[in-house]
Structure 1
Amino acid sequence: MSNPYQHITGSDQLIAALGEWPTFHDAEIVKFSMERSLPVEVGHNRAKLTIHVSQYASINEGTANYQMIVTKGMLANFVFASISDLELFDFNHQNVINSFTVSPVQTNDKATLLVEIESIWGLSGSFKCSAVELESVEVVKIEHQ
């Protein structure tokens, strides 16, 4: 069985930060942008996606004071090369997702990966690309009340 991050270059950064590859359930998309290629780079467009991923812990389990608290927050910055078949819907003020997946797809062009974003609320969609890179992971300061 394949791992969910095997097609993402640099995925080890997020695994190191969180201790595992996240499911992306309840993560929030905070930014999506696209850049077209320059005339000398025909066909080399790219997109950037930033997902706010949180890690939770249970406290007071089995009691009336049970809570889930955020223990870590990260901004995962992804870059996608040679985008095609782009279908995105409903970008809004929150963009909570159920899942974010990258999987191989059979195609006759250079876009051999399928990226799918399943929404809970806000942005959803899919597109094909030739490569996915986790460009950086930034720590988000968590303040507990």
Structure 2
Amino acid sequence: MQAYEFIEGYEQVIDRFGRWPSFHDGEVLRIILDRSLRLPGGPSIPSVEVYLRGWIMGPELADDGRYTLHNDSVIHFLFEDISAFELEGFNQQNVVTSLNLELSGEPQGGANVLHVEFEHCYQFCCAFIARRAKVVDLRPYAEQPASLA
């Protein structure tokens, strides 16, 4: 199993981009931390929502001299039951070198967990472990609400 296959709905990303993208030079537009979900009579289940802009960069140049971006989109991820959360350098431009995913089993033979790293490019970086993950939504960047554009 590829690590991205741990993410429920990963097929939407494959369908949009033709493959799982590296998200090189992608940008984290929004992060929402939430601990309000609770198990009945139990502890909170922390989650993080990430809105990540990504594309496939083409070899051709646009009129302005920049490489053409194909399928420019925003993917809304939800990661649940997170731990070991680290965030650094959130700023006006949260560009990442890549989105790194790795699966590993929990100690004592438990279920797989997903190690998530938004590798830094310009100050911003973020890493955590999630027990569940899913693609909530995927839309062309041009169709995003003004608050995300």
TM-score by length of 1: 0.82
Query: What pairs with 1:11-26 in structure 2 (closer than 5 Å)?
Result: 11-26=10-25
Select the structure that is richer in helix.
Answer: 2
Report deviation, 1:72: 2.1
Structure 1 counterpart of 2:146: none
Report deviation, 1:136: 1.2
Distance 2:51 2:32 in 1: 9
What CA deviation, in whole Å up to 9, does each residue of 1:64-87 have, x standing for no partner?
x97511232110111011111111
Aligned-residue identity in percent: 23
What CA deviation, in whole Å up to 9, does each residue of 1:60-119 have, x standing for no partner?
6xxxx9751123211011101111111110001111101112212343487822111111
Give the counterpart letter for 1:26 in structure 2. Answer: D
Unaligned runs of 5+ in 2: 144-149
Unaligned runs of 5+ in 1: none
Give the counterpart letter for 1:9 in structure 2. Answer: E
Distance 1:105 1:66 in 2: 42
TM-score by length of 2: 0.80
- The answer to whether the aligner puts 1:50 opposite 2:47 as a matched pair is no
- The answer to whether the aligner puts 1:8 opposite 2:2 as a matched pair is no
Q: Secondary structure at the match of 1:6?
A: helix
CA RMSD in angstroms, aligned pairs only: 2.4
Structure 1 counterpart of 2:96: 97
Cα distance change, pair 30–122 in 1 and its aligned pair in 2 (3 A): farther
